[in-house]
A and B are shown apart, each in its own frame.
Chain A
Amino acid sequence: MNALLSIENVSVSFAQRKRLFGGPRASLRAVDDVSAEIGEGETLALVGESGSGKTTLGHVVAGLRKPSAGRVRLRGAELGAANRALAGRAIQIVFQDPFSALDPRMPVSDIIAEPLRIQGAASKAERRARAAALVEEVGLPVDALNRYPHEFSGGQRQRIAIARALAPAPQLIVADEPLSALDVSIQSQILNLFRDIQKRERLSYLFISHDLGVVEHLADRVAVLYLGRIIELARREDIFAHPAHPYTRALLDSMPRIGKGRHRKRAIKGEMPSPLAPPSACVFHPRCPLVQDICRTLAPRFEPLAARPSHLAACHFKE
């Protein structure tokens, strides 16, 4: 597989405010030593509970936050201040809340063409022509161009946000929970839109979601994030058919499914621990149904399964 984007040992920590009377300055590790690759035309889904660091990682990839350690490479070139413009064209982002994602005081044509304007890549006339073409591509009415965001529903706004992300013909779109603020009936439309666009444009997605049902429809590979660490990474079929990590299994069991009755064999107990004080050794051990002494003393390595080398998991008892 040809890696379009590689995330190499990325960590993000937030320094907590200094205490008034000295004391140690705590730091919160939102993302801890994460590595992953996204191939051309591939969708990597990032799943996890809220607070697992999904959005922070997405922001790092989109260039909105500098990683405290590690790097992100696009086709081998490290992203940073030097090639900000390249990254701005190649990587775009779609947000969760379609209401805050669009400037309420900007007409739709300007919103969609904005990346081109920022990059100075096209004349005014070209930008307008591009906006008009994109409006059609994402399935909005043609008269949308001169209207303002408040005249559109959530689903339509998300289409506008997608059109904006497509404007500079990017290679990767970071989609940060793009469906979770929408009605279920609209979700499937937008999901199909994401799929159609990918087919047409050969785009890659970093698709951040906590909805495994959505992930099952769209993802090629799935990375499961827990407390800022990837604990399992595998092809979609493998994750859904043979989850190796107990946390992934618990996530899958909590997925509502039609026709299988109510069985919640392995619901996870407790809350996610505070990332300010992550558990020692295996970070999942306080909630793990399979926990043994070794889990409390030795951190499991994130390594391939014996049966499937493409399937990685961080657990002493991966199946």
Chain B
Amino acid sequence: MTDLATEGALASPARAIEAAQSVWSLRWRRFRHHRAGIASLAILALLVLFCLSAYPLERYLNLDSNATDLLSRYDPPSATHWLGTDEGGRDELLRLMYGGQISLLVGLLATVIGGGIGVSLGLVAGYFGGRLDSFLMRLTDGVIALPLLPLLIVLAALDLTKLGFSSEFAHSGAAGFWRIVVIIALVDWTAIARLVRAATLSVKERDYILAARASGAGALYVMATHVLPNIVTPIIVALTLTVGRVILFESVLSFLGFGIVPPTPSWGNMLNNAQELVTTAPALAIYPGLLIFITVIAVNFLGDGMQHAFDPRSERR
């Protein structure tokens, strides 16, 4: 609510009660009333904080998270190793923190990029229809039909220096990280694209869109202002499911050797490594599993809160 708007409203005393608020402030107000959503936002913020404190803690405890010490494998929690050590004698807590940085970032970036591609293609296909629609949907079918594993192996084997990147970058950990983000984003947008296209088809002929077009609204305006907010529910559901899947998918790819390379931890590869140790050192599987679980749950409730914020008809909880 801007001051100017309040001024205009004050011109008549009867109107002073209610100055019009922007749609985003109304949405934020609705989101604030969604307890689970707010709690999830707080939990995710804490998780991020947890992961970011890895480096300071490493300095403070004077440890190296990647240095193996075969004499102290599977140590129980102690003053130096707060959560004990893993199968390589490395500090479990620090690895969880560093692993979280990778996992959360991969989950977020791959979902945002893949979701962005899927939403834009679905919107364009559904709204404009015709040949463009057929072309984009055949493209989507094509990507769905591609056998995933051989494709991933090809993508992972790409020599980045041939694509114009410096060999320094190509062999760094960052390259592995971006490689995995791009790979996941490139294969994971199809479901969203189909979903968004179908939802767009169902709203694009509504009268409120005709009214906007009669006032001279262009396609971009209609898609951003009317179509997107009205199809946001299925998009959010799909995206929140994607985040959890991507975090686990990253571990599968890393396990196959494409992407995050072993000394660098991620929740996914930590969970994978611990699979064989479930009987001997169950904690090593439980910690990353728990963190992934909390992340996925929090993201889902955050999604609920966002749906509630966008849909004025939904009930308060």
Contacts and interface: CB of A to CB of B under 8 A. Distances in A.
Interface of A: 59, 62-64, 84-85, 87-89, 91-93, 95, 97, 100-107, 109-111, 114-115, 118-119, 123-126, 128-129, 131-132, 136, 142-143, 145-146, 148, 150, 161, 164-165, 168
B208 A150 contact: no
Contacts of B208: 100-103, 106, 111
Interface string B208-232: 1011111111000100011001101
5 contacts: A101-B208, A106-B226, A143-B18, A145-B20, A168-B215
A28 B127 CA distance: 24
A148 B23 CA distance: 10
Given A107-B20, A129-B5, A84 B312 contact: no
B313 A92 contact: no
Given A143-B17, A145-B18, A150-B313, A103 B214 contact: no
Contact of B8 (A87, A128, A136): A128
Interface string B188-224: 0000000000000000001110111111110001000
Contacts of B313: 104, 148, 150
B163 interface: no
B167 interface: no
A114 B207 CA distance: 14
A274 B2 CA distance: 56
Contacts of B15: 132, 136, 142
Contact of B11 (A105, A107, A129, A165): A129
A44 B206 CA distance: 26
Contacts of B17: 142-143
Contacts of B157: none
A104 B20 contact: no
Given A107-B21, A118-B215, A124 B2 contact: yes
Contacts of A128: 5, 8-9, 19-20
Contact of A132 (B20, B206, B221): B20
B214 A93 contact: yes
A72 B225 CA distance: 29
Contacts of A136: 15
B26 interface: yes
B20 A142 contact: no
Q: State the main secondary structure of chain B at its contact with A.
A: helix
B4 interface: yes
Contacts of A103: 206, 208, 226, 229-230
B212 A114 contact: yes
Given A103-B230, A105-B310, A110-B23, A64 B8 contact: no
Given A110-B20, A145-B20, 18 more contacts: A62-B214, A64-B214, A84-B216, A93-B210, A100-B208, A101-B211, A102-B208, A103-B230, A105-B230, A106-B226, A107-B21, A107-B23, A118-B221, A123-B4, A129-B9, A145-B18, A146-B20, A148-B312
A137 B217 CA distance: 25
Given A88-B215, A129-B8, A146 B230 contact: no
A106 B19 contact: no
Contact of B210 (A64, A106, A119, A126): A64
A130 to B, nearest CB: 9
A307 B312 CA distance: 59
Given A109-B20, A124-B5, A146 B212 contact: no
Interface of B: 2, 4-5, 7-9, 11-12, 14-15, 17-21, 23, 26, 206-208, 210-217, 221, 225-226, 229-230, 232, 310-313
A125 B26 contact: no
A103 B206 CA distance: 9
Nearest to A132: B15
Which 5 A-B residue pairings sit nearest by Cβ, starting from the closest? A88-B216, A109-B20, A125-B4, A129-B8, A148-B312
Contact of A146 (B11, B18, B215): B18
A142 B21 contact: no
B4 A118 contact: no
Contact of B211 (A95, A129, A145, A150): A95
Contacts of B11: 129
Q: Which of B7, B19, B211, B215 has the most CB of A within 10 A?
A: B215
A88 B212 CA distance: 9
A168 B212 CA distance: 12
B237 to A, nearest CB: 16
A85 B20 contact: no
A64 B213 contact: yes
Contacts of B217: 118
Nearest to A111: B208
Given A95-B211, A105-B312, A115-B215, A124 B4 contact: yes
B216 A132 contact: no
A106 B5 contact: no
A128 B10 CA distance: 12
Contacts of B225: 106
Given A105-B230, A107-B26, A125-B5, A93 B211 contact: yes
